[in-house]
DNA sequence: ATCCCCCGATTAATCGTTAAAGCAAATTGC
DNA sequence: GCAATTTGCTTTAACGATTAATCGGGGGAT
């Protein structure tokens, strides 16, 4: 059986309370005894019972992570970052996948609460209305979301992509989104639009409307995600246009497959580490009694790979 | 404050133990009182404290999930399936990402144990040696792994892919793997090899060795994952070979991007739901005192999409 | 020498739930 | 009709940690 606090106490002829004080460093224990206690605790491979500690202190050391859909390539990166930030802060991470549905999302939040999570990191399903919870919550979405805690500067990211293509001499762009409902996507496209120079023009194609990517005459395509960039890239290939020779393509979020394809995908990435860290820090602060820190926005970075190149000579076009 | 068992007891003038018995249905309570108790518990929105229950019963209702790498497109699907199977069985899921490293994997296992997981679902890093744990563990890997609990029939999956190409008249195949160390990959390729008909020939290319995919004269390529299939597909496109007109390509695991590309990727998928369900069932059985059920192997299924077509006419080749 | 204070430890009370034992009343068996 | 169960509920005692309250004693100040 696992040794308990009392076992260590018996071993040294002291009380369990003293052992607790020595290990947590909170009470008053003489330095000499403290060291002896720590040494024997180590020797006996003592592990405090998380359940007992949780019961007494009201803190489980576990936070919940609610994601819209793990099978969407966008989210595992966030999950990974949150997990590692949480682990670094001494928290475990309970996951819950809301599978797209906002109802399931509510269930997931309730379930995590029931399971004793100390706080929750929520990546909200689009169109979610935050319900009142008696747990600290950190929201990762966009600056446009009320109650948002940490997010990337999606507009700035969009601007980065446009600036990159502008530098390469592109004048005619296509912005590729999937759903107008997604705040992240519309923020990115808003940023793109705002960064256009007077010499440039751009059209926007929403995949939810249908429409043929290959029909465009744009020389640069910026998709709101790597997934749609991939669609663009393969569709273009198939219709005989070459990437990046004829058309340049940029994606978002730096998914693994972007490096697996030929040409590799130029992409605008989030600093998921920083965002996850900020979310966890916000929870930790709230748990420590501090008010929720204000929203933090992190810049995105563009990674240039093979899918972008200087615009083709206009003379050979038309 | 949350109502406690005692609060409900006071409300009805009974003892806390009776309330506990009524709610869990374990002790002896008259049906009439049981219903009254349940009704008031509902009315007072009573939620049992997971920590107190865990402390008393020694069961936390949480299982750990250890994955090699969430950023690898292969694993989120498994995570999602495990999460939903666990939720259905009333378990929460604590995730831990071992980030490739076997050392981190060991740490992750220890951490989950410390955090009070009742059991663990482990998708082992290649080359992992299972250490003895005093927790029930379910392993999801391959039938070739000693101690495996649930897995796909990877050999059978490989055979399916070969049979599909054989049906389409392909005679010369290329098998594309990444690492020989991966049991999953080598099992899949072994299955492919075994399914070759006498008229067929095949070469194997391991990406860890380097080598040019486009250099092959095979008319059918089977990659051990969608990711490598994607590499093959785009590399072929780039070198002027058309998919599926000149070369057919098959991947594994049915990742989301396989449907986003043009042509959509024919792929061999695992029944992740069934596997996750079996893993959770195994843990539940072990927690219930039963011996670990024997290994379960689930068939894979091939989904035909646009990347496979009849072999080109040999006359036009050469 | 006396008083006081603070250090260093102990005691005891909780946290909320459940398992086991106990006990009176109601029911059964013969 | 009386002993033997069964029923329905209560009491008691943990589970393993934290923490407020307490207490003895050594040392410094007066």
Picking from A265, A271, A259, the residue whose alpha carbon sits closest to that of residue A306 is A265
Chain A residues within an 8 Å CB radius of B72: 256
Check if residue A56 sits with its Cβ under 7 angstroms from strand C: yes
What distance in Å separates the CA atoms of residue B150 and residue B147, rounded to the nearest whole number?
A: 10
pLDDT band at B289 (very low <50, low <70, confident <90, very high): confident
The answer on pLDDT for B317 being more than 50 is no
CB-based contact B256 A73, cutoff 8 Å: yes
Handedness of CA B131, B137, B140, B146 (dihedral sign): positive
CATH number at residue B14: 1.10.260
What distance in Å separates the CA atoms of residue A281 and residue A283, rounded to the nearest whole number?
A: 5
**Tell me, what's the pLDDT at A203?**
95
The answer on pLDDT for A20 being more than 80 is yes
Is residue B308 situated within a structural domain? no
**Tell me, what's the pLDDT at A318?**
43
- Together in a domain, A114 and A171: no
* pLDDT, tens digit, 9 for 90 and up, residues B87-114: 999 999 999 998 878 888 888 898 998 8
The answer to whether the CB of A124 falls within 8 A of the CB of A145 is yes
Chain B residues within an 8 Å CB radius of A70: 76-77, 79-80, 83
Check if residue A27 sits with its Cβ under 7 angstroms from strand D: yes
Mean per-residue pLDDT for B145-166? 94
**Tell me, what's the pLDDT at B134?**
82
Q: How many CB atoms lie within 10 A of CB A15?
A: 13
What is the number of domains present in chain A? 3
**Tell me, what's the pLDDT at B318?**
44
The protein residue nearest D18 (Cα–C1') is: A56
The answer on pLDDT for B81 being more than 60 is yes
What distance in Å separates the CA atoms of residue A60 and residue B54, rounded to the nearest whole number?
A: 11
Torsion angle (degrees, nearest 10) of CA A285, A287, A288, A291: 50
What distance in Å separates the CA atoms of residue A249 and residue A229, rounded to the nearest whole number?
A: 7
What distance in Å separates the CA atoms of residue A60 and residue B55, rounded to the nearest whole number?
A: 12
The beta strands (E) that lie in chain A are given as 62-67, 92-97, 119-122, 137-139, 150-152, 172-177, 201-206, 220-223, 248-252, 266-269, 296-298, 301-303
Is residue B304 situated within a structural domain? no
- Together in a domain, A248 and A186: yes
* pLDDT, tens digit, 9 for 90 and up, residues A174-188: 999 999 988 999 999
- Together in a domain, B144 and B160: no
**Tell me, what's the pLDDT at A137?**
93
Q: At what angle do helices B16-24 and B31-43 cross, to 10 degrees?
A: 90
From B262's Cα to the closest Cα of chain A, the distance in A is: 5
Mean per-residue pLDDT for B148-162? 96
- Together in a domain, B158 and B247: yes
- Together in a domain, B18 and B159: no
Chain B residues within an 8 Å CB radius of A249: none
> Which domain range does residue A30 map to?
5-48
Task: Name the 3-class secondary structure at B159.
Answer: helix
Mean per-residue pLDDT for B109-131? 85
Cα–Cα distances (Å) from A104 to A109, B273, B277, in that order, read 9, 18, 20
Interface test with A, best of B262, B263, B269, B272 (most A CBs within 10 A): B262
Angle, alpha carbons B64-B65-B69 (nearest 5°)? 145
Tokens of B304: 């035909």
The answer on pLDDT for A171 being more than 50 is yes
Ranking A39-53, A302-316, B43-57, B256-270 by mean pLDDT, the lowest is: A302-316
The answer on pLDDT for A315 being more than 70 is no
Is residue B55 situated within a structural domain? no
Interface test with B, best of A121, A247, A256 (most B CBs within 10 A): A256
Chain B residues within an 8 Å CB radius of A94: 62, 92-95
Task: Name the 3-class secondary structure at A250.
Answer: strand
From B88's Cα to the closest Cα of chain A, the distance in A is: 12
- Bases in strand D with any atom closer than 7 Å to a protein CB: 7-12, 14-21
- Together in a domain, A40 and A83: no
- Together in a domain, A164 and A66: no
The answer on pLDDT for A316 being more than 80 is no
Is residue A314 situated within a structural domain? no
Is residue B314 situated within a structural domain? no
Nearest to B55 among A52, A73, A231 (CB): A52
- Together in a domain, A278 and A137: yes
Beta-bridge partner residues of A205 = A176
**Tell me, what's the pLDDT at B127?**
65
Is residue A17 situated within a structural domain? yes
- Together in a domain, A240 and A189: yes
Residue with tokens 């001494």: A90
């Amino acid at each position: 059986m696992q040794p308990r606090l009392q076992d260590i106490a018996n071993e040294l002829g002291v009380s369990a309370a003293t052992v607790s004080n020595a290990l947590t460093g909170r009470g008053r224990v003489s330095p000499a005894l403290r060291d002896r206690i720590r040494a024997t605790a180590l020797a006996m491979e003592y592990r405090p019972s998380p359940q007992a500690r949780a019961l007494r202190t009201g803190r489980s050391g576990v936070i919940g992570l609610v994601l819209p859909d793990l099978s969407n390539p966008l989210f595992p990166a966030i999950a990974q970052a949150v997990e590692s930030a949480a682990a670094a802060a001494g928290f475990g991470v309970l996951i819950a996948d809301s599978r797209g549905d906002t109802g399931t999302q509510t269930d997931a939040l309730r379930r995590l609460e029931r399971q004793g999570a100390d706080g929750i990191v929520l990546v909200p399903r689009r169109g979610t209305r935050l319900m009142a919870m008696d747990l600290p919550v950190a929201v990762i979405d966009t600056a446009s979301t009320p109650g948002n805690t940490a997010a990337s500067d999606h507009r700035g990211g969009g601007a980065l992509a446009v600036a990159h293509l502008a530098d390469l001499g592109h004048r005619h762009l296509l912005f590729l989104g999937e759903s107008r409902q997604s705040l992240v996507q519309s923020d990115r496209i808003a940023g793109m639009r705002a960064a256009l120079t007077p010499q440039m023009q751009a059209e926007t194609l929403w995949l939810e409307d249908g429409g043929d990517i290959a029909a465009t005459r744009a020389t640069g395509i910026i998709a709101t995600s790597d997934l749609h960039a991939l669609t663009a890239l393969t569709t273009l290939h198939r219709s005989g246009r070459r990437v990046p020779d004829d058309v340049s393509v940029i994606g978002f979020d730096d998914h693994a497959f972007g490096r697996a394809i030929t040409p590799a995908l130029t992409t605008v990435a989030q600093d998921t580490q920083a965002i996850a860290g900020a979310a966890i820090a916000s929870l930790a602060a709230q748990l420590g009694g501090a008010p929720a820190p204000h929203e933090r926005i992190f810049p995105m970075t563009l990674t240039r790979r093979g899918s972008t190149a200087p615009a083709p000579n206009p003379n050979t076009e038309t």
